[in-house]
């Protein structure tokens, strides 16, 4: 998602898109409907209704509006008003044209079914407060109301049942991933299955609109917060528009957000996937794959088309193959020409060079060079193969098995993992933490990479690496990240930002840190290592590796080995810094000597209780005391009324 432009308007309350033509419809607070070209974003026509327009529904033949007078208006494609009639006694919250019928919900607590002549066909009643939204699924109509309930109406019998769902009023309802989803003033959204809440996600403000789009849930909050959630309910995108937000629609790969300040337009980017090896880089957007070889620093980018736009992608570690999945169909492709090597049906898949693992209703199937070699009666939700280890995500556990089906490791969890991997330990992250074996890092992680058995993660657009040392876990900041991160190789962090780019993260120095700590090498002048050891409080160990006098000075300060710092002082700032540390331990004479060397004579004089040094004139009121201590009474009384008396008698 990238912000494109704004269309300044005053209070856009609702949006609609034409099913086939390049047309957008804006329902306005001032009682008009504005029709825009969805490509050029130019105004084509305006319809005046006279009352606030809160809902618009469009098909190939008609434009239907509902306004605050309770009136429904029907226009043809030439914007001629075919019909207009008061249907409700209060505000109309939603209209829907479907199968030659018009459905409308209102603050009069009813849902009315009308024909195209606006003659009443039926009425659905039972809500105790405003009916804010509804949806039709087969022969059922689901409605939500500020009475905190969801109504379920049989459209044949017109009878309804009501299910209390939220603590405060409900504003929106949609279907998402086979669940009913409701948005409320709690503020939260809830996922409903068989009229039971199975999940609740809190938000910061009233949830006013929910839209299901291509396995993503679009969430509009009244305070301007807009979120896109994945099928797993993880946040893919979030922005706060800083103005009231009412509706969202998509057209021509653009997302249109209706706010009190007008329309905010975002370029809608398709699902992205990426991967790198030391020699190759891949980036997938929609059904396009971009590819490069890392030769020198001139990265020639080639583009090819995939057989379809994938929902999921797996790359082989050697970069020779990739597997794409959509609608339970997978294609295993060679990255040289993207020819299909193997295809089939599965729910999940993963590859590790010559090994392919697939998951279907019969369990896990392991293939080597496209030939079946093993079947496991395991039924995880997700599966990965890393080297020759198979990692499965189950309802409450992650398990690791080898090629023979022997369980190697497992870990239990309470918070559902977003992603997981395996490198000596099971590694996964959820919406709050990164977990590595027995350790946890309280960071919200967006990307996880492993290079040379070093764990890297991105949180809040910042790259870190993880070190576990002396049974403590630490994470070290590396750099800020912009663009789409693809992975880490021997050159650094590779990102896609309209082209392949490499961020130098001094990967060789980071690897050297680990080699030194693991005992693979015995010495190093690696400044990263000493900085790391200092950051985790291992000062003695950092001191043993440090050869830089400035760094040694800082380490000795932290260890309070102050006298060892004295010969390392090279400038006034270091003398000052060390003097203040001596003051903390009440060693006034050393403090005074160091202040003197720093040419801070005022401070030196103040703490020189033994009168050790001779001082030049001081800049503060201490100068009077200096004169007195030096028995220079003539100078001491200068400028006072006693000056002449002192000169006369003394």
Look at phi and psi of residue 78 and say left if phi exceeds 0, alpha if psi is from -120 to 50, else beta: alpha
Span 6-16, pLDDT tens digits: 999 999 999 99
Lowest mean pLDDT among 53-62, 151-160, 284-293: 284-293
* 295 pLDDT above the threshold of 90: no
Backbone angles phi, psi at 383, to 5 degrees: -145, 145
Q: Cβ distance 233 to 210 under 8 Å?
A: no
In this predicted structure, what is the pLDDT of residue 337? 87
Lowest mean pLDDT among 43-57, 388-402, 462-476: 462-476
* Token pair recorded at residue 87: 């249907």
Strand (E) or helix (H) holding 358: strand 355-360
For residues 543 and 559, give the distance between their C-alpha atoms in angstroms, rounded to a whole number. Answer: 10
- Strands of the 439-441 sheet, one edge to the other: 419-423, 425-429, 434-436, 439-441
- Strands of the 216-221 sheet, one edge to the other: 207-213, 216-221, 225-229, 235-240
The conformation of residue 166, written as its DSSP 8-state character, comes to: -
Compute and round to an integer the Cα radius of gyration of the chain.
Answer: 35
Q: Cβ distance 68 to 91 under 8 Å?
A: yes
CA angle in degrees (0–180, nearest 5) for 448-483-485: 25
Q: Cβ distance 465 to 479 under 8 Å?
A: no
For residues 227 and 303, give the distance between their C-alpha atoms in angstroms, rounded to a whole number. Answer: 31
The structural domains of the chain, with segments of one domain joined by +, span 2-267
- Tell me the β-bridge partners of 124: 111
For residues 347 and 438, give the distance between their C-alpha atoms in angstroms, rounded to a whole number. Answer: 31
Residue corresponding to tokens 């504005």: 34
- How many Cβ atoms from other residues are within 10 Å of residue 525's Cβ? 11
In this predicted structure, what is the pLDDT of residue 309? 84
* 441 pLDDT above the threshold of 70: yes
Look at phi and psi of residue 537 and say left if phi exceeds 0, alpha if psi is from -120 to 50, else beta: left
* Token pair recorded at residue 436: 């590595």
Mean pLDDT of 353-364: 94
Mean pLDDT of 591-619: 85
Task: Quickly state the pLDDT bin for 522 (edges 50, 70, 90).
Answer: low
Q: Is 625 helix (H, G, I), strand (E, B) or coil?
A: helix
* 267 pLDDT above the threshold of 90: no
- Tell me the β-bridge partners of 11: none
Q: Cβ distance 58 to 18 under 8 Å?
A: yes
Averaged pLDDT score across all residues of the chain: 90
In this predicted structure, what is the pLDDT of residue 88? 97
CB-based contacts of 519: which residues, under 8 Å, 6+ apart?
none
In this predicted structure, what is the pLDDT of residue 417? 92
CB-based contacts of 192: which residues, under 8 Å, 6+ apart?
150, 163, 165, 179, 180, 181, 182, 198
Span 116-134, pLDDT tens digits: 999 999 999 999 999 999 9
Mean pLDDT of 497-523: 84
- Strands of the 484-489 sheet, one edge to the other: 484-489, 492-496, 500-503
Mean pLDDT of 382-404: 93
Lowest mean pLDDT among 99-103, 431-435, 444-448, 534-538: 534-538
- Burial string for 10-40 (b: 16+ CB within 10 Å, else e) reads ebbbbbbbbeeeebbbbbbbebbbbbbebee
In this predicted structure, what is the pLDDT of residue 159? 94
Helix axis angle for 549-558 and 572-584, nearest 10°, is: 10
For residues 498 and 483, give the distance between their C-alpha atoms in angstroms, rounded to a whole number. Answer: 8
What does 467-510 look like in DSSP terms, one character per residue? EEETTEEEEEEEEE--SEEEEEETTEEEEESSSEEEE---HHHH
What is the rounded end-to-end Cα distance, in angstroms, of the chain? 88
* Token pair recorded at residue 115: 């024909």
Strand (E) or helix (H) holding 5: strand 2-8
- Tell me the β-bridge partners of 82: none
Span 508-517, pLDDT tens digits: 988 988 887 7
Mean pLDDT of 543-565: 86
Task: Quickly state the pLDDT bin for 233 (edges 50, 70, 90).
Answer: confident
Span 334-350, pLDDT tens digits: 998 899 999 999 999 99
Task: Quickly state the pLDDT bin for 543 (edges 50, 70, 90).
Answer: confident
Share of the chain above pLDDT 90, in %: 68
In this predicted structure, what is the pLDDT of residue 128? 96
In this predicted structure, what is the pLDDT of residue 427? 96
Mean pLDDT of 515-530: 71
Q: 2-267 maps to which CATH number?
A: 2.130.10.10
pTM above 0.85, yes or no: no
Residue corresponding to tokens 């434009």: 63
In this predicted structure, what is the pLDDT of residue 386? 94
* Token pair recorded at residue 586: 């009440």
Secondary structure E strands in 505-552 = none
């Amino acid at each position: 998602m990238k912000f494109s432009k704004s269309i300044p308007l005053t209070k856009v309350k609702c949006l609609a898109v034409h099913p086939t033509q390049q047309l957008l419809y804006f329902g306005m607070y001032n009682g008009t409907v504005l029709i825009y070209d969805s490509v050029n974003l130019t105004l084509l026509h305006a319809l005046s209704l006279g009352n606030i327009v809160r809902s618009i529904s469009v098909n190939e033949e008609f434009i239907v509006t509902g306004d605050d007078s309770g009136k429904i208006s029907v226009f043809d494609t030439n914007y001629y008003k075919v019909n207009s009639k008061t249907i409700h006694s209060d505000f109309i919250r939603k209209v829907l044209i479907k199968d030659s019928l018009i459905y409308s919900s209102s603050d009069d607590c009813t849902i009315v079914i009308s024909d195209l002549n606006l003659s009443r066909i039926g009425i659905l009643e039972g809500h105790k407060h405003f009916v804010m939204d509804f949806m039709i699924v087969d022969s059922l109509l689901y409605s939500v109301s500020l009475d905190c309930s969801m109504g379920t109406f049989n459209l044949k019998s017109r009878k309804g049942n009501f299910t209390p769902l939220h603590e405060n009023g409900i504003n929106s309802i949609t279907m998402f991933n086979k669940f009913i989803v409701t948005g409320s003033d709690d503020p939260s959204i809830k996922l409903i299955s068989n009229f039971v809440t199975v999940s609740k996600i809190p938000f910061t403000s009233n949830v006013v609109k929910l839209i299901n789009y291509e396995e993503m849930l679009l969430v509009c909050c009244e305070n301007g917060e807009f979120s896109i959630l994945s099928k797993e309910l993880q946040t893919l995108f979030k922005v706060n528009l800083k103005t009231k937000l009412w509706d969202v629609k998509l057209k021509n790969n653009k997302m249109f957000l209706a706010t009190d300040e007008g329309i905010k337009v975002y370029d809608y980017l398709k699902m992205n996937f990426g991967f790198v090896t030391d020699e190759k880089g891949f980036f997938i957007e929609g059904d396009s794959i971009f590819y490069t070889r890392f030769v020198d620093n001139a990265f020639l980018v080639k583009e090819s088309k995939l057989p379809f736009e994938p929902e999921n992608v797996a790359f082989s570690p050697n970069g020779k193959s990739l597997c794409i999945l959509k609608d339970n169909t997978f294609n295993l492709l060679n990255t040289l020409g993207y020819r299909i090597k193997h295809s089939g049906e599965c729910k999940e898949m993963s590859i590790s060079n010559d090994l392919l693992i697939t998951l279907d209703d019969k369990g896990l199937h392991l293939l080597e060079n496209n030939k079946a070699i093993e079947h496991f009666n395991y039924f995880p939700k997700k599966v990965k193969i890393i080297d020759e280890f198979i990692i499965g995500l189950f309802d409450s556990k992650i398990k690791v098995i080898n090629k023979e089906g022997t369980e190697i490791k497992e870990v239990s969890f309470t918070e559902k993992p977003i992603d997981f991997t395996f490198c000596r330990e099971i590694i996964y992250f959820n919406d709050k933490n990164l977990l590595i074996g027995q350790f946890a890092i309280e960071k919200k992680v967006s990307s996880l990479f492993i290079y040379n058995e070093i764990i890297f993660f991105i949180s809040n657009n910042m790259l870190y690496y993880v070190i576990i040392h002396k049974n403590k876990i630490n994470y070290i900041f590396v750099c800020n990240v912009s663009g789409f991160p693809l992975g880490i190789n021997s050159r650094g962090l590779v990102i896609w930002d309209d082209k392949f780019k490499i961020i130098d993260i001094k990967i060789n120095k980071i690897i050297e840190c680990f080699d030194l700590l693991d005992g693979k090498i015995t010495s190093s002048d690696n400044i990263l290592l000493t900085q790391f050891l200092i950051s985790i409080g291992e000062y003695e160990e950092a001191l043993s590796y440090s050869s830089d006098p400035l760094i040694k000075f800082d380490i000795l300060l932290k260890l309070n080995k102050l006298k060892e710092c004295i010969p390392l002082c090279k400038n006034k700032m270091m003398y000052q810094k060390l003097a203040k540390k001596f003051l903390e331990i009440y060693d006034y004479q050393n403090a005074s000597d160091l202040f003197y060397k720093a040419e801070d004579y005022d401070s030196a004089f103040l703490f020189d209780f033994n009168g050790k040094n001779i001082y030049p004139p001081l800049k503060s009121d201490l100068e009077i005391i200096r004169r007195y201590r030096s028995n220079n009474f003539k100078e001491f009384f200068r400028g006072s009324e006693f000056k002449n008396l002192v000169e006369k008698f003394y």
